[in-house]
Amino acid sequence: MLEIDDYVQKADEIIKLMHSEFQLLQLKSDIESKVRGDLEKQQKEYFLNQQLKTIQEELGGNPQEEELNKLVKQAETKKWPKEVREIFDKEIAKARRVNPQIAEYSVSLNYLELMLELPWDEVTKDNFNLKKVKKVLDDDHYGLEDVKNRIMEHLAVLKLKGDMKAPILCLVGPPGVGKTSLGKSIATALGRKFVRMSLGGLHDESEIRGHRRTYIGAMPGRILQSLRKAKSSNPVFILDEIDKLGKDFRGDPSSALLEVLDPEQNSTFHDNYLDIDYDLSKVLFIATANSLSTIQPALLDRMEIIEISGYSTEEKTEIAKRHLVPKQAAEHGLKSKQVTVPVSVLQYIISAYTRESGVRSLDRALGGVMRNVAKRIAMEEAFDGKVTEKIVREALGPEKFDNESYVQSDIPGVAVGLAWTKVGGDILFIEASTSKGKGKLVLTGNLGDVMKESASTALSYIKAHSESLGIDPELFENTDIHIHVPEGAIPKDGPSAGITMLTALTSALKKKPVKPYLAMTGEITLRGKVLPVGGIKEKILAAKRSGIKEIILCEENRKNVEQIPAEYIKGLEFIYVTKMEQVVEHALGFLIF
């Protein structure tokens, strides 16, 4: 400054320096003002918090401290693994440092409560009196021998070994056969807690695995929530309707279930909310499904499939007599002495008013009958305590179903097949006729592609073996063939009608009627082989109900017949075949050369 001689220049430089110093002073003043404001705010909050703490102590202690101390006290008596205890202690220490006014405190508190309420090493003692277990299962459910035997085997191993990885059972069968209620009976028999979780329509993966704690409103998955309610680590856990799981942009729940339902992996099940491995290996998981076709193959591979077929009329009669009639009578305020339903009337209700594999419709029908009886007793009408068919018709209206019975026919071209439906078995009349024409094959009766192919295969076989069957080969060139399956409103498909179509066609072309009181089921090939088919139990019972005396089956289906109780198939004769020639020989009574 002193070196500058020009006064104007010197003044200009002084102004620049003063302006710079003024800006520095202004910035310093702003910082001091802000710091002073922050300190005042902190002092104010500290002062208010100290006042609040003092008031709370005067009123009877700090609720935050009391709450956390209560959790610590509960943890002292809790049975859980050492590593879980360490995580709990760490979370408690963290919760003590958090201000109870902020949202993170409530999240931390909910997490600690979940850890305490989960039954880590708490199990119920199994009932190893196997005879008593068998009695409970037999009393609660008639039939279902496969499932009962599997449960008895599991208990026997558990009794001898003391501990084992619980199997994952999957009960597959039509609605109303008692899959879910069987799970409840198993829990009662074992002396375990019972948990049921419906998976129908579930499409969010977080429902199984839980949400991460970083999200607002985060919750554990329904698996852990159910165990928390059960307060036991070894309940019987029913996963209902596993075939009806959904899938959308929120994830695939069936993939999330892979870990839950794998006996090799579920000892370290990871829930996103809990964020600690939880042991599910002691849980007896029982899944239920109506169909296996919609279950993911990888999930299906992890489960032990037990098929539960529909009940026969005899089994339904027993179930109604033992369980449904007493239950419905009690629900409608009737005593056992006031009403009795004879076996013949039960069978009439089953055949005329229900068409199902299970017993739900039968249960509803019996409820309608009991309401009618209750009205009679309440209005003091004349009633001798015995339900008759007349009372049933009055209560339920006219008969809903007319079970088709076998009617002997001497007309060539009519054969009786056996069909499986989702509500049980049925007999199926297949009609074939010939007329002058140009060798055209006409198929009617609402047939599916597989059934149409069976008809074409049968005709091709007859054409190829026309000489040995004694049919003029030229007949096919000037004859139209029409195959019809009655009840055209009902869709029909499957390969089971193969040998029936072969018999009907041969009968029509030879002008020779089929042997009376004979039914058949089996798939055919162009080589002349007869292949096995499914639904044998339902088909055979349908044949017996309809008055059939003889049934033609594939030799490989013999094992299915042997599994049916002898009293259900008494009076039926079975003819086992391997070739189509044997079918024609037995059904039409002539030898093929």
The residues annotated with a catalytic role in the active site are: 496, 539
Cα separation of 388 and 592, whole Å? 53
Extract the tokens encoding 183. 């799970």
Cα separation of 205 and 209, whole Å? 6
**Closest CA relative to residue 307, chosen from 360, 235, 260, 357:** 357
- Give the list of residues 6+ apart from residue 495 with CB closer than 8 angstroms, or none: 450, 451, 453, 454, 523, 524, 531, 533
Beta partners for residue 531, in sequence order: 523
For residues 271 and 223, the answer to whether their CB atoms sit within 8 Å is: yes
Extract the tokens encoding 317. 């009669």
**Closest CA relative to residue 200, chosen from 158, 157, 234, 246:** 246
Burial per residue of 145-171, b for 16 or more beta-carbon CB atoms within 10 angstroms, e otherwise: eebbeebeebbeebeeeeeeebbbbbb
Place of tokens 């008969």: 399
Extract the tokens encoding 543. 């044949």
Cα separation of 509 and 463, whole Å? 11
Rounded to the nearest angstrom, the gap between the alpha carbon of residue 102 and the centroid of all alpha carbons in its chain is 44
For residues 242 and 200, the answer to whether their CB atoms sit within 8 Å is: no
Cα separation of 17 and 9, whole Å? 13
Extract the tokens encoding 491. 């869709």
The DSSP element (H or E) to which 343 belongs, if any, is helix 343-353
Place of tokens 């009806």: 244
Place of tokens 């899938």: 247
Cα separation of 246 and 149, whole Å? 33
Cα 559 to Cα 179, 532, 533, 537, distances in angstroms: 25, 11, 12, 11
φ/ψ of residue 385, rounded to 5: 90, 0
